[in-house]
Structure 1
Amino acid sequence: MIETVATKPFDDQKPGTSGLRKKVAHFSQPHYAENFLQSIFDVAERGPGATLVIGGDGRYFNRPVIEKAIRMAAANGFGRVVVGQNGLLSTPAASHLIRQRKAAGGIVLSASHNPGGPDGDFGIKYNIGNGGPAPEAITEATFKRSRTLQEYKISDAPAPDLSVVGETTIEAMVVEVVDPVADYAELMQTLFDFGKIRALIAGGFTLSFDAMHAVTGPYAKTILEGLLGAPEGTVVNGVPLEDFGGGHPDPNAVHAAELIARMMGPDAPDFGAASDGDGDRNLIVGRGIVVSPSDSLAMLAADIQRAPGYTQGITGIARSMPTSQAADRVAAKRGVKLYETPTGWKFFGNLLDAGMVTICGEESAGTGSDHVREKDGLWAVLLWLNILADRKESVKAVVEGHWQEFGRTYYQRHDYEEIDSKAAEGLMGSLRDRLASMSGQRFGTLVVSEADDFSYKDPIDGSISTGQGVRILFSGGARIVFRLSGTGTKGATLRVYIERFEPDAAKHDIAPQEALSELIDTADVIGEITKRTGRSAPDVIT
């Protein structure tokens, strides 16, 4: 029977860059998750008897919310729900399923790279029918609806056993539990030369993949150890756990320190990689070298035609504004357009749908292509392996060869986490107030050539996004970018992006901290970071 439950609106259900994220305790409030789900169902477009995909990264609180989402979908007129076995679906696998099944959309339950467990974070994101994150028009409508919601609908029938693959029914809706890995693994085999990668591994090439006790464990085990023949134990931390084993599932130098130490050691494998909580981010490490996400995007774009699914090359490249301009130089040399968008994968969707770009990337370790409408961690790993197998070179040789051809872009992101929200807003407000007078100012040897608050007009639908981050550009092409992240759940996260291009190959061995030292000092002066936040150093440097 369908029940109509009286509720009261919450005033804090505004989705951020990647859906609604809060602490588990906050999401556990009575009606909180139900209200947000009902708000999505009320505003998202769908036809009668539509299909909905549901899955998540396995973090704490996923199972009860998935069960509620299934029962609410039945009460709201969906004809079919496709859900991953045990509630698991990586974000790129969910995107693929939405597209493959021609679903109206999908509910993705994840807080991505944020910590899990009872004291950790939780999130709900809605993806539309193209498989990508809901655009701002839908997230704004969802928030508006959440402010007025007075009731939600839910079936009183129990949710099905999610551990059993197969079909059951709730009300008039079919619930189909599917193997979360199978369709995704099949897609990967259409894009990459698995035979060539298998031969590389059989020939003695060694690798290590850290799944960080997150959702990609089963995917990596099936693909790397199963289909590609890597030895058992290649995938470490491969069992998804509700608290990610007490770790922080963010594939960067701080939280993947174990992998990086392994790759810098005397007996290092040839190739190392990691992915995050929901499987959409990646870290690439070679023996003795860490590949920055911005560089990885540029290097994959430069060599993507080596993979069978991309033999025609690229139609264009898209990157988020804070991502380094290394990819711009590849686009220029390949004679294709480079699109600079705000942060958030949803901004790539229209470009991908229109066939204007083939590969996209963000400096926050996200890379993907037109095969889905999300960033895809394992896809990036497999493309790297395909390139290495084809070039028959080490990661370090590929990186250095790229720098030789395109120049090196020195780049760092400095994160100041959980700072006082008012202090963070004050810092950004002060920067914006000073933009008009900043051009021509000198800071040491650096002279400001331009300063602005980045805005974006979508070339497909004409929508405009403003206030996307303060850019300080210097003569010679160096730049500093300041923005507040939309992925945290406590206080504010200030992100400062620092970048300088070096065309001279003789200067490519300088340590990034040294190469960027003047810009780092200047960022503190211009942003008044220490003065306004009390922080003398960032919490994380990537």
Structure 2
Amino acid sequence: MTTVKHVATTPFDGQKPGTSGLRKKVRVFQQPHYLENFVQAIFDSIGDVAGKTLVVGGDGRFHNRSAIQTILKMAAAAGFAKVMVGKGGILSTPAASCVIRKYKTFGGIILSASHNPGGPDEDFGIKYNIPAGGPAPEGVTEAIYARTTEINEYRILDVADVDIESVGDRSLGGMAVTVFDPVADYAELMGSLFDFDAIRALFAGGFRMRFDAMHAVTGPYASVILEDILGAPKGTVMNGIPLEDFGHGHPDPNLVHAHDLVEEMFGPDAPDFGAASDGDGDRNMILGRDFYVTPSDSLAVLAANATCAPGYAKGLAGIARSMPTSAAADRVAAALGIKSYETPTGWKFFGTLLDAGLATLCGEESFGTGSDHVREKDGLWAVLLWLNVLAARKQPVADIVREHWAKYGRNVYSRHDYEGIDTAAANGLMDHLRGLSLKGQTLGAYTVAFNDDFAYTDPVDGSVSTKQGIRIVFEDGSRIVFRLSGTGTEGATLRVYIEQYEPDPAKHGADPQDALAELIKIARDVAEIEARTGRSEPTVIT
């Protein structure tokens, strides 16, 4: 007879989910009762789970398999009828959204700390995705957090671990456990959106590509789709085996951390196209030969060319971007005669727009792009859409982007990250910025039109989100934005975004750091970054 254990517990401080769930160091999650408290708080907050199906999987980082066993036993104790688990515990974030939506489950639990490092001394994370397939909205995460502050018991089955290393059906205390191929459903969805025959022909014609999976979750997905299905040569996917510590790497697809790919794409005999994805597969970086495409430009170019892909041949309903993302996509929306939406950072804010049919493509400057096919950003999807555009237009990446700038103008853009700074100092810096009244003041060659702390009212459900980032907007449309990131586990990360619109094609080739030099100085001076944080230079510039 299977026994449900009722385990007495007490609350832990700080189990408040951020923009993408709860992220802490592995050692924190390994504390007795810590993970169990949070999982029980999820189950207590999402309604009646009896007879329902749950999806579970993660990015394969250290502690992934162990956490899944705990979640399975607690799901059985909670009354779920079935849990679907990716083989080996592997399931990319966009693939989880795909599976949740396809099988109409009662949502899913995704184990990931996204682009953060993995390993025994590094990061771990957990989040609940709702039945629509997207991250839980603030109302749900607030309820989960409230429950963590008062929890006094969790329930778990007293049974042995279940085999999740091979595909098949099992039973756990009367609950069905289905271990499934994590790639199959996602690959099928991609085949319905893109012209796979045109992409096959592209590779057959000698087109060369490199995809850096960064020893993270997209390795199996990219290997199957790019190499097995689309015919890219074996070896196109680099670092394709998911490892618990991501090969001692930092699985963040940017110019610093994807250095091997960048070196190859900017070296002699570079391939035609380069791309990378992150720890859980929801971010992307796009490179041409000797050419880097910013995420803001990537969203705009994909929006302008989306009809190249069969899944978007009828056009777009609208385009949504996070507030710090450049306004390049807005210019495309205006030209197409469709609406553009500016939301806070966090993919959950796109969910209501997508569900209401108001937007088709969405993007964030933090290397996230996606569409209404799932309710998460999707790294490999963005790569496949780029391949579809390249197959249709038969031009190099750099030429496509430069033609886009010539037509729409260039939103010259950069992001400066100051990582791991003292939290109190970071909060003091933001408070300082909130206290400034700059309207009408001249800063260098720029006159301030307004400054504010961005607030958002959702046009669908009317929910209001405040304190979403400090904006300084100048009369010529240039912007400086300051935000504290919610994705780290230690200290604070200050992100500074600098943007200037340049309509003159003769100036489109300028290096962004040179073109934005005066605005960068203004940003550092106005925020008193060095004086308040002790940092004279950013940690990462993208």
TM-score, normalised by the number of residues in structure 1: 0.99
For residues 176-218 of structure 1, the C-alpha deviation after alignment (integer angstroms, 9 at most, x for no partner) is 0000000100110000000000001000000000000000000
SS of residue paired to 2:435: helix
Q: Give 2:468's aligned residue.
A: 468
Q: How much has 1:413 moved relative to structure 2?
A: 0.6
Q: How much has 1:463 moved relative to structure 2?
A: 0.5
For 1:389, give the aligned amino acid.
Answer: A
Tell me the distance in 2 between the aligned counterparts of 1:277 and 1:322: 22
Quick one: which of 412, 415, 418 aligns to 1:413?
A: 415
8 Å Cα contact 2:328-2:410 kept in structure 1:
yes
For 2:359, give the aligned amino acid.
Answer: V
Q: Give 2:286's aligned residue.
A: 284
Q: Give 2:235's aligned residue.
A: 233
2:167 matched to 1:165?
Answer: yes
Tell me the distance in 1 between the aligned counterparts of 2:235 and 2:526: 48
Task: Give runs of aligned pairs for residues 118-517 of structure 1, distance below 5 A.
Answer: 118-434=120-436, 437-517=437-517
Q: Give 1:8's aligned residue.
A: 10
SS of residue paired to 1:107: strand
8 Å Cα contact 1:133-1:346 kept in structure 2:
yes
Q: Give 1:21's aligned residue.
A: 23
Tell me the distance in 1 between the aligned counterparts of 2:78 and 2:247: 36
Paired residues, number: 540
Q: How much has 1:430 moved relative to structure 2?
A: 0.7
For residues 160-181 of structure 1, the C-alpha deviation after alignment (integer angstroms, 9 at most, x for no partner) is 1111111111122100000000
Tell me the distance in 1 between the aligned counterparts of 2:48 and 2:308: 39
Structure 1: 5+ residue stretches without partners: none
Tell me the distance in 2 between the aligned counterparts of 1:410 and 1:241: 36
SS of residue paired to 1:95: helix
Task: Give runs of aligned pairs for residues 111-122 of structure 1, distance below 5 A.
Answer: 111-122=113-124
Any runs of at least 4 consecutive aligned residues in structure 1 with deviations exceeding 4 A, and if so which?
none
SS of residue paired to 1:438: coil
For 1:259, give the aligned amino acid.
Answer: L
SS of residue paired to 2:15: coil
8 Å Cα contact 2:43-2:49 kept in structure 1:
no
Tell me the distance in 2 between the aligned counterparts of 1:415 and 1:288: 24
8 Å Cα contact 2:309-2:389 kept in structure 1:
yes
Task: Give runs of aligned pairs for residues 528-539 of structure 1, distance below 5 A.
Answer: 528-539=528-539
SS of residue paired to 1:300: helix
Tell me the distance in 2 between the aligned counterparts of 1:11 and 1:163: 34
8 Å Cα contact 1:45-1:104 kept in structure 2:
no
Tell me the distance in 2 between the aligned counterparts of 1:143 and 1:100: 29
For residues 421-441 of structure 1, the C-alpha deviation after alignment (integer angstroms, 9 at most, x for no partner) is 00000000011011xx21011
Q: How much has 1:159 moved relative to structure 2?
A: 2.7
Superposition RMSD on alpha carbons, in Å? Answer: 0.6
Q: How much has 1:47 moved relative to structure 2?
A: 4.9
For 2:178, give the aligned amino acid.
Answer: E
Tell me the distance in 1 between the aligned counterparts of 2:36 and 2:302: 41
For 2:276, give the aligned amino acid.
Answer: A
Tell me the distance in 1 between the aligned counterparts of 2:346 and 2:37: 24
8 Å Cα contact 1:319-1:341 kept in structure 2:
yes
Q: Give 2:47's aligned residue.
A: 45
SS of residue paired to 1:104: coil
SS of residue paired to 1:538: coil
For 1:219, give the aligned amino acid.
Answer: Y
8 Å Cα contact 1:454-1:469 kept in structure 2:
yes
Q: How much has 1:46 moved relative to structure 2?
A: 4.4
Tell me the distance in 1 between the aligned counterparts of 2:268 and 2:493: 36
TM-score, normalised by the number of residues in structure 2: 0.99
Tell me the distance in 2 between the aligned counterparts of 1:414 and 1:375: 22
Tell me the distance in 2 between the aligned counterparts of 1:95 and 1:163: 21
Q: How much has 1:45 moved relative to structure 2?
A: 3.0
- What percent identity do the matched residue pairs reach? 66
For residues 57-115 of structure 1, the C-alpha deviation after alignment (integer angstroms, 9 at most, x for no partner) is 00000010011001100000111100000000000000000001111110000000000
